A and B are shown apart, each in its own frame.
Chain A
Amino acid sequence: MKLAIKLAFRNLIGAGLRTWLNVIVLSFSFVIIIWMKGVITGWDHQAKIDMTNWQIGEGQYWHENYDPYDPFTLNDSHAPVPEILREEVRQDSMTPLLISQGTIYPQGRLQSIMIKGLDPHQKIFHLPSHKLDTTISDAIPAIIGSGMAKNLQLGISDRVMIQWRDTEGTFDASEICITDIFSVNVPAVDQGQIYIPLNELRSMLNLEDEATILTYNNVRTDRSDVTGWIHKSKEELTSSVDELIKVKTAGTSVLYAVLILLAMLAIFDTQVLSIFKRQKEIGTYIALGYTRREVVGLFTVEGTMHAVFAALLSAAYGIPFLTWQAKNGWTMPMDTSEFGMAIAQTLYPVYSAGLVAGTVLIIMTVTAIVSYWPSRKIAGMNPTEALRGRIQ
């Protein structure tokens, strides 16, 4: 094996440009696959961090009737904060959110929205809730996301009519004043959402002390359902991201397969050409004391060594490139706010040792198989014909 490696090294170096063309193509596969996988992992990280910071904290209690996909459940999805959780609310490690359906009329147009009552002093979400801690004599202070503001053409200090229905079923209306517009990568926090002070919404709905969702930021393993409230762990709440990442990973795997296929095609071609062109050399190896199986081994090692060289070349230019990307991120050329998923405009790739080792291992294995496949032909060659360079 040591000798095969030594000879394969000499042969590849001696082959010059032919070797380097294959190595360059293969090294692109290494770097692009690691980079793309890194982007997806980075996206997964970013999406979960953003969801934690802006939407779900470290976990939530949902009112038992609450179904985020069925707005009709909202009328019955509220109850007083349970006694057992009140201490956490008092200590600011838990914050209540009351949710109701409503309608606003920007520039006379009708727009259905979710009205979310948020404690202006909460410390759990990155939402600028302190901007709700203001008194406006003839309007309700409200904050909205930049995507919503853009869609509705609303700016800070703009006023807009809001209509809602209280628990008795009575429609009521007032005016809100936009006190702040925040930028966020989580669409569920932005699109169609208006945040107003919690107590204001409670009084609008006649639901004193009630909430729809309770979000906490202290990690405890002993949490479970409370009467009337269902506990949702962070893992459950981010499972949609995991599903999305799984789908995206499956989609990009096709691209990886194409990249590897192109590189492998180059290696396969080289191997076939080598065996075709190097008949005399194969005969000489046998005459000098190699068995045919050892020559097959030599050619397989030679093919596989392309992947070793490619890994080294990839390290030479890939490490600086991937490090630069991890630091500066990849800014997507189109606006991501309308993608409908938690995705930042700039994604920061995250590379793990497993990702790099896995990619290298897969490419090495596939290269070894592709190198071995055409080399098996050597095992059936007649050495005397090979010595004369006769095509077999």
Chain B
Amino acid sequence: MENSSIIKIENLVKKFPMGKGEFTALSGIGLTLSQGEFAGLIGPSGSGKTTLLNIIGSLDVPTSGLVKVLGQSISELNAKESARLRKENLGFIFQSYNLLAVHTVYENVEFPLLLLGLSSGERKKMVMDALEWVGLTDKIRSKPPQLSGGECQRVAVARAMVKKPSIVLADEPTANLDAANSHNILKTMEELNRELKTSFLFATHDEKVINYLHRKIFLLDGRIDKDEVVSN
């Protein structure tokens, strides 16, 4: 990784087949993200935020261009390598939480650690630490359907953070939350960013989130319209 840049994108194009033709979701994207940034992709629906986030998260591949995450080119990774990248270095937070409904809070947060093959003792300590960060140590035996939306998203944050990944990708994390819960979640994430030096990249059009961002990357019709750093 040159100059502590963890994400490097050059001339990224992403097209999707549509009917007999193609739809260009991203066009000529160039972007570099450094370690510890708290940045967001901002734009209206259809601007390509989620598509870009999915490509960075190695859940999708570019049509053309270069996308390097932690020094690895997404286009060149095979299924196993991209799974390893996600498993070891990336954390995901989704708009609708995507928690495993039949698992308890503890088991949901423990899941990424199981994939990493950590021992039961290590897992327990890390899960409890993560739940303490989000203030949910009293809910370890609850299952997602028994939790409020805010609590679910806090579990999702704990799950994303538990393995202390290099990058957390958060797709509209506050879209289903009220103002108070949104602020709580964002504060927590900001603290974790500060304490653990984890990079956060949001995809959002929510003002509440935008206000917290230290770097705002505006997307419009699949292109970067503006990229501004907010001084603290």
Binding site for B on A (CB under 8 A): 3, 6-7, 10-11, 13-15, 280-281, 283-284, 286-294, 383-384, 387, 389
Is B212 engaged at the interface, CB distance under 8 Å to the other chain?
Answer: no
Is the C-beta of B102 less than 8 angstroms from some C-beta in chain A?
A: yes
Complex CA–CA separation, A389 to B115 (angstroms) = 23
Question: Are A288 and B87 within 8 A (Cβ)?
Answer: yes
Whole-angstrom CA separation of A291 from B114 in the bound complex: 15
- Sample (17) of A-B pairs whose CB atoms are under 8 Å apart: A10-B102, A10-B103, A10-B107, A11-B100, A14-B101, A14-B143, A15-B102, A283-B98, A284-B98, A287-B92, A287-B94, A288-B86, A288-B92, A288-B115, A289-B84, A289-B115, A291-B80
* Chain A residue at minimal CB-CB distance from B86: A289
- What is the distance, in angstroms, from A129's C-beta to the closest C-beta of chain B? 71
Residues on B with C-beta less than 8 A from A287 are 57, 59, 86, 92, 94, 98
One digit per residue, 1 when the CB lies within 8 angstroms of any chain A CB and 0 when it does not, for chain B 88-117 equals 100010101011111100010001101101
Residues of B within 8 Å of A289, CB to CB, are: 83-84, 86-88, 112, 115
Least CB separation from B55: chain A residue: A384
* Across-interface contacts of B94 in A (CB, < 8 A): 284, 287, 387
Known: A383-B59, A384-B54, A387-B59. A288 touches B102 (CB 8 A): no
1/0 per residue, CB under 8 A from A, across B144-187: the answer is 00000000000000010000000000000000000000000000
Which of B84, B88, B96, B98: most chain A Cβ within 10 A? Answer: B98
B60 touches A (CB below 8 Å): yes
Nearest CB in chain B: distance from A136 CB, A:
83
Point out the residues of chain A lying under 8 angstroms from B101, CB to CB: 14, 281
Q: Mark B34-74, 1 if CB is under 8 A from A, else 0.
A: 00000000000000001000100101100000000000000
Complex: chain B residue closest to A287, CB-CB = B92
Contacts of A11 in B (CB 8 A): 100, 102-103
A371-B155 Cα distance, complex, nearest whole Å: 31
A13 to B114, CA, bound (A): 18
Q: By CB atoms of chain B within 10 A, which of A14, A289, A290, A387 has the most?
A: A289
Q: Which residues in B have their C-beta under 8 angstroms from that of A286?
A: 59, 83, 86
* Chain A, residue nearest B88 (CB): A289
B98 & A3 in contact (Cβ 8 Å cutoff) = no
Which of B83, B99, B159 has the most chain A CB atoms inside 10 A of its CB?
Answer: B83
| Residue ID in chain A nearest B53 by CB atoms | A384
Q: In the assembly, what is the distance between CA of A153 and CA of B129, in Å?
A: 90
Taken together as a complex, chains A and B put the C-alpha atoms of A98 and B92 apart, in Å, by 92
- The list of the 8 closest CB pairs from A to B, nearest first, reads A14-B102, A289-B87, A284-B98, A291-B83, A289-B115, A287-B92, A289-B86, A384-B54
In the complex the two chains form, is B59's CB within 8 Å of A288's CB?
Answer: no
Closest chain A residue, CB of each to CB of B114? A3
CB of A288 within 8 A of CB of B103, answer no
**B112 lies within 8 A of A280 (CB):** no
> What is the CA–CA distance of A290 and B88 in the complex, to the nearest angstrom?
11
Q: Output the nearest chain B residue to A288 by Cβ-Cβ distance.
A: B112
A11 CB → nearest B CB, Å? 6
The answer to whether the Cβ of B79 comes within 8 Å of any Cβ in the partner chain is yes
A290-B59 contact in complex given A10-B103, A15-B102, C-beta closer than 8 Å? no
A279 → B minimal CB distance (Å): 11
A257: min CB distance to chain B, Å = 33
Q: Provided the pairs A289-B83, A384-B54 are in contact, do residues A3 and B115 lie with their beta carbons within 8 angstroms?
A: yes
> In chain A, what residue has the closest Cβ to B107?
A10
Contact B98 A387 (CB under 8 A): yes
Taking a contact as CB atoms under 8 Å apart, the answer to whether B115 and A293 are in contact is no
Q: Who on chain B is nearest to A382 by CB?
A: B60
For B92, the chain A residues whose CB sits under 8 A away are 287-288
- From A280, which residue of chain B is reached at the shortest CB distance? B98
**Chain B residues positioned under 8 Å from A384 (CB to CB):** 50, 54, 59-60
Q: Report how far A252 CA is from B186 CA in the complex, Å.
A: 66
